Homo-oligomer: A and B are copies of this chain.
Amino acid sequence: MHTIDAEDAACLRRIALLGGCKGPVRLSTQTLGDQLGISQQTASRRLQSLEKAQMISRTAEPTGQFVLVTRSGEEHLRREFSEYSKIFDVKDEQYILTGTVISGVGEGRYYMSIPHYQEQFQKLCGFTPYPGTLNIKLNPQSVQIRKRMDSLEWTTVPGFKDEHRMFGEARCIRCTISDIPCAIVVPGRTHHPEDVIEIISGTQLRDTLGLQENSDVSVVIG
């Protein structure tokens, strides 16, 4: 199997864009060079290289040449095409946040032990939350990803009032950690640091996943 370098691949793609997969195209080395931003000489060399690698075939005419992408040339292009398909197909709604486990202030435990919230999360997320939250300090890049996630659809967990006080609403979004269903919870009122997220789940994630302080975790959303 012949293999070609990235520059030759870009050249092959250009030829295909000009119709080289469908039939022979008249293509001068000067024209090709102009389109790729390289010299006529370099374009000529590229064509020789692609021909040697059996990615294209050429027929010389006194007035110029005709170029055709061969079967293996097309196969090469289709393999690259499928790489892009992989990059973008699944991707659309999926986000991954990475960070490390840190200890919270224990507020999460308090709220998650309140029956109202337990019922609501059961209804909205499909699990009764373990009374406690896993706090994750996001890596700086994940903070950016986290911000983009504000444009996703979050579920609102309504607040309520008992005889003593008001309990605020919260937003949550379903996610998984190592395929365990979880949810990111953002309290409505308190001002959360933007580089920390709180995770709830039906089990105690620290034990289930063997997590300790500073363990690396990946949270998959969507």
Contact = CB atoms under 8 A, between A and B. Distances in A.
Interface of A: 5-7, 9-10, 13, 16-17, 19, 21-24, 26, 57, 59, 66, 68, 77-78, 80-81, 83-88, 91-98, 138-145, 147-148, 151-153, 194-195, 218
Contact of A94 (B22, B95, B97): B22
A96 B23 contact: yes
A139 B139 CA distance: 27
Contact of A17 (B10, B26, B87): B87
Contacts of A21: 87-88, 91
14 contacts: A5-B6, A5-B7, A6-B9, A13-B87, A19-B96, A21-B91, A22-B91, A22-B94, A22-B95, A24-B139, A77-B87, A88-B148, A92-B144, A92-B148
A84 B77 contact: yes
**Most chain B CB within a 10 A radius of its CB, from A9, A66, A144:** A144
A10 to B, nearest CB: 4
A152 B152 CA distance: 23
For this chain, the copies found in one complex come to 2
Contacts of A145: 22-24, 68
A138 B23 CA distance: 11
Given A87-B16, A95-B22, A140 B151 contact: yes
Contacts of A23: 95-98, 141-142, 145, 218
A197 to B, nearest CB: 12
A7, A59, A81, most chain B CB atoms within 10 A: A81
A10 B142 CA distance: 24
A1 to B, nearest CB: 14
A196 to B, nearest CB: 9
- Residue of A24, A85, A153 ringed by the most chain B CB atoms within 10 A: A24
Contact of A144 (B85, B93, B139): B93
Contacts of A93: 144
